[in-house]
A and B are shown apart, each in its own frame.
Chain A
Amino acid sequence: MYKLFLCKRYLCTRYIALVSIISVMLGVATMIVVNSVMEGFATEMRSRLHGIYADVTLQSRTASGMPDAEAHMRRIKKVAGDDIEAMTPTVVGPAILNFRFRGQWITHQIQLIGVAEETQNGVSDFGKYLQHPENRKQLSFKLREGGYDVIDHQAKPVGKAKPREQMKKAGWPHRREMAQLAAFNKSLEDAREAAETNADSAAEQPAGQPAGPANPFAGPSSPFKQPENVFDPAKEQHSGAVVGIAIASFRNAKGEDHFTMLPGDDVQITFANTTSQPPKPASDTFTVVDLYESKMSEHDSKIVFVPIERLQKLCGMIDPSTGIGAVSSIQIKVKEGVDPAVVRDKLNGAFSQHFYMAYTWEDAQGALLAAVDLEIIILNILLFMIITVAGFGILAIFYMVVVEKTRDIGILKSLGASDRGVMGIFLTYGMSLGLVGAGAGMVIGLLFVAYINEIAKLLGKITGRPVFSPDIYYFYEIPTIVQPFTVAWIVLGAMAIAVAASVLPAQRAANLHPVEALRYE
Chain B
Amino acid sequence: MSNSTQTARNSANIARHRTRAGGHELAGPHVAIPGKSEESSSGQLTAKNICKSYRKGQVAVPVLRGVDFEINRGEFAAIIGQSGSGKSTLLHVMATLDAPDSGQVYFDGRRIDNLPASARDKLRNRRLGMIFQFYHLLPELTVLENVLAPLMISHGTLSYFISRHKHRRTAAELLEMVGLGHRMKHRPSEISGGEMQRAAIARALVTSPELLLADEPTGNLDHSTGEDIMEILRTLNKRKNLTIVMVTHDQAIAEEADRIVRLVDGQIAI
Which of A32-40, A114-122, A416-424 is found at the contact surface with chain B? A416-424
How would residues 146 to 158 of chain B score, 1 for a CB under 8 Å from any chain A CB and 0 otherwise? 0001101111110
B138 located at the interface, meaning its Cβ lies under 8 Å from any Cβ of chain A in the complex: yes
Of A1, A13, A513, which contacts B160 at CB under 8 A? Answer: A1
Q: Is A138's CB within 8 Å of the partner chain B?
A: no
B124 touches A414 (CB 8 A): yes
A280 interface residue (CB < 8 Å to B): no
Q: Flag if B121 contacts A416 (CB, 8 Å).
A: yes
B73 part of interface (Cβ distance < 8 Å): no
The interface residues of chain A lying within 8 Å CB-to-CB of B125 are: 415-417
Contact in complex: B155, A1 (CB < 8 Å): yes
* A10 vs B121: C-alpha distance when bound (angstroms): 23
CB closest residue in chain B, given A519: B88
Distance from A521 Cβ to chain B, minimum over Cβ atoms (Å):
9
B153 proximity list for chain A (CB < 8 A): 1-2, 412, 415-417, 421
- Evaluate whether A418 and B121 lie within 8 angstroms (CB atoms) in the complex, with A1-B156, A6-B140, A515-B97 already known: yes
Q: Is B245 an interface residue (CB 8 A)?
A: no
Picked from B117, B149, B156, the residue with its CB within 8 Å of the CB of A415 is: B149
Bound state CA distance, A408 and B97, in angstroms? Answer: 15
Complex interface: chain A residues within 8 A of B121 (CB) = 413, 416-418
Q: Is the CB of B130 within 8 A of A414?
A: yes
In the bound complex, how far is the Cα of B122 from the Cα of A341, in angstroms?
67
Contact residues in B for A413 (Cβ distance below 8 Å):
97, 121
| Chain B residues whose C-beta falls within 8 Å of the C-beta of A5 in the assembled complex | 145, 152
**Which residues of A (499-521) have their CB < 8 Å from a CB of B?**
513-515, 518
Cross-chain contact A1 with B157 (CB below 8 angstroms):
yes
Assembled-state Cα–Cα distance A518/B138 (Å): 12
Contact residues in A for B118 (Cβ distance below 8 Å)? 418
B94 at the interface (CB under 8 A from A): no
Residues on B with C-beta less than 8 A from A411 are: 136-138
Set A419, A421, A514: member contacting B97, Cβ < 8 A: A514
B149 in contact with A2 (CB, 8 Å): yes
Chain B nearest CB, measured from A403 CB (Å):
15
Cβ of B122 and Cβ of A515 under 8 Å apart?
no
Residue A258 CB within 8 A of the other chain:
no
Question: Is B126 in the interface zone, CB < 8 Å from A?
Answer: yes
A158 within 8 A of B: no
Residues of B within 8 A of A421 (CB): 153
Contacts of A419 in B (CB 8 A): 117
Of A407, A416, A514, A518, the residue contacting B154 (CB under 8 A) is A416
**A4 contacts the other chain (Cβ, under 8 Å)?**
yes
Instruction: Across the interface, name the chain B residue whose C-beta is closest to A516.
Output: B98
B 107-127 contacts with A by CB, 8 A: 117-118, 121-126
B18 at the interface (CB under 8 A from A): no
CB neighbours of A514 from chain B (8 A): 97-98
A61 contacts the other chain (Cβ, under 8 Å)?
no
Contact with B along A411-441 (1 / 0, CB 8 A): 1111111110100000000000000000000
- The reply on B92 being an interface residue by CB < 8 A is yes
CB contacts (< 8 Å) of A518 on chain B: these are 97, 132, 136
Q: In the complex, which residues of chain B have a beta carbon less than 8 angstroms from the beta carbon of A414? A: 95, 97, 124, 130, 136
Tell me, in angstroms, the Cα distance from A13 to B132 when the chains sit together.
25
Quick one: closest A residue to B156, CB to CB?
A1
Residues of the A chain whose Cβ atoms lie less than 8 Å from the Cβ of B122: 416
The main secondary structure of chain B at its interface with chain A is: helix
A474-521, CB < 8 A from B: 513-515, 518
Complex interface: chain A residues within 8 A of B23 (CB) = none
Shortest distance between the CB of B123 and any CB in chain A (Å):
8
**CB closest residue in chain A, given B127:** A416
Asked if A9 is at the interface of the complex by the 8 Å CB criterion, the answer is yes
Residues B38-82 near A (CB distance < 8 A): none
What's the Cα separation between A436 and B117 when bound, in Å?
34
> Size class of B's contact patch?
20 to 34
What string of 1s and 0s marks CB contacts (under 8 Å) between A1-36 and chain B? 110111001100100000000000000000000000
Q: Of all chain B residues, which has the CB nearest A521?
A: B134
B29 lies within 8 A of chain A by Cβ:
no
CB of B139 closer than 8 Å to a CB of A: yes
CA separation between A298 and B265, bound complex, in Å? 92
What CA separation (Å) do A407 and B132 show in the bound complex?
Answer: 12
Residues of B within 8 A of A418 (CB): 117-118, 121
- Output the least CB separation between B140 and chain A (Å): 4
* Cβ contact within 8 Å between A407 and B161: no
Max chain B Cβ within 10 angstroms of own Cβ: one of A10, A411, A518? A411
State which of B117, B138, B157 has its C-beta within 8 Å of the C-beta of A408: B138
- In the complex, which of the residues A1, A13, A416 contacts B161, with contact meaning CB atoms closer than 8 Å? A1
Asked if B149 and A4 make an inter-chain contact with CB atoms under 8 angstroms apart, the answer reads no
B141, CB-defined interface residue at 8 Å:
yes
Residues in B whose Cβ lies below 8 Å from that of A515? 92, 97-98
**Nearest Cβ on chain B to A17's Cβ, whole angstroms:** 12
B157 and A4 form a contact (CB under 8 A): yes
By a CB distance below 8 angstroms, the chain B residues around A13 are 140
Q: How far is the CA of A416 from the CA of B122 in the complex (A)?
A: 6
Query: Which one, A1, A9, A416, A513, contacts B141 given CB within 8 A?
Result: A9
Q: Looking across the interface, which residue of chain A has its beta carbon closest to that of B118?
A: A418
**In the complex, what residues of A have CB within 8 A of residue B145's CB?**
5
> How far, in Å, is B204 (CB) from chain A's closest CB?
9
Q: Please report the C-alpha to C-alpha distance between residue A13 and residue B188 in the assembled complex, in whole angstroms.
A: 14
Q: B132, B140, B157: which contacts A9 (Cβ < 8 A)? A: B140
Bound-complex Cα distance A417 to B152 (A): 10
Interface bits A374-413 vs B (CB < 8 Å: 1, else 0): 0000000000000000000000000000000001101111
Closest to A12 in B: B140
In the assembled complex, how far is the CB of residue B113 from the closest CB belonging to chain A, in whole angstroms? 14
Q: For residue B140, which residues in chain A have a CB less than 8 angstroms away from its CB?
A: 6, 9-10, 13, 408
Q: How far is the CB of A9 from chain B (nearest CB, A)?
A: 4
CB-CB nearest in chain A for B125: A416
Q: Which of B153-210 contact A (CB under 8 A)?
A: 153-157, 160-161, 203
Question: Cα distance A460–B231 when bound, in Å?
Answer: 75
- Chain B nearest CB, measured from A1 CB (Å): 4
Contact status of A1 and B95, CB under 8 A, knowing A408-B138, A416-B122: no
Residues of A within 8 A of B152 (CB): 1-2, 5
Q: Which of A9, A407, A415 contacts B150 (CB 8 A)?
A: A415
* B residues apposed to A, CB below 8 Å: 92, 95, 97-98, 117-118, 121-126, 130, 132, 136-141, 145, 149-150, 152-157, 160-161, 203
Q: Contact residues of A with B, CB < 8 Å?
A: 1-2, 4-6, 9-10, 13, 407-408, 410-419, 421, 513-515, 518
Instruction: Enumerate 15 A-B pairs (CB-CB under 8 Å) in ascending A order.
Output: A1-B152, A1-B153, A5-B145, A9-B140, A13-B140, A412-B153, A415-B124, A415-B150, A415-B203, A416-B123, A417-B125, A419-B117, A421-B153, A514-B97, A514-B98
**Besides A413-B121, A414-B124, A415-B150, 17 other A-B contacts (C-beta < 8 A):** A1-B156, A1-B161, A2-B149, A6-B140, A6-B141, A9-B141, A407-B136, A412-B153, A415-B124, A416-B123, A416-B153, A417-B153, A421-B153, A513-B98, A514-B97, A518-B132, A518-B136
Question: Which 6 A-B pairs rank lowest in CB-CB distance, beginning with the nearest?
Answer: A416-B125, A2-B152, A1-B160, A416-B124, A1-B152, A9-B140
